[in-house]
Amino acid sequence: MANALAAAGPNSKYKQPDTAPAGFWAGCWHGIIAPIAFIISLFNANVRMYETNNTGRGYDVGFILGISMALGGSGSRACR
């Protein structure tokens, strides 16, 4: 179970042989945990915010959606 919820990095489950690249849902998860992963990455070189072995736009959309959920949404409240 721990590998299913793993952060991006050199020991990621997406770097294992015969494994599909990270997709939309992995992007969402990595976006949600990005603030925590960033802090950990400052002290541990094996943790990254972004998975390099990904499907492309699907992962990117999921990552942006996840990071917007983690950081509070669209920012519409800041304009008021």
Contact 59, 23 (CB under 8 A): yes
Report residue 42's pLDDT band, with 50, 70 and 90 as the boundaries.
very high
Report CA-CA distances (Å) from 9 to 23, 67, 78: 15, 17, 33
Q: Which of 45, 5, 1, 11 is nearest to 26 (CA)?
A: 5
19-34 pLDDT, tens per residue? Answer: 888 889 989 998 998 9
Q: What is the value of pTM for the model shown?
A: 0.78
Comparing 10-14, 22-26, 41-45, which segment has the lowest mean pLDDT? 10-14
pLDDT, residue 46, reads 79
Report residue 57's pLDDT band, with 50, 70 and 90 as the boundaries.
very high
pLDDT, residue 43, reads 92
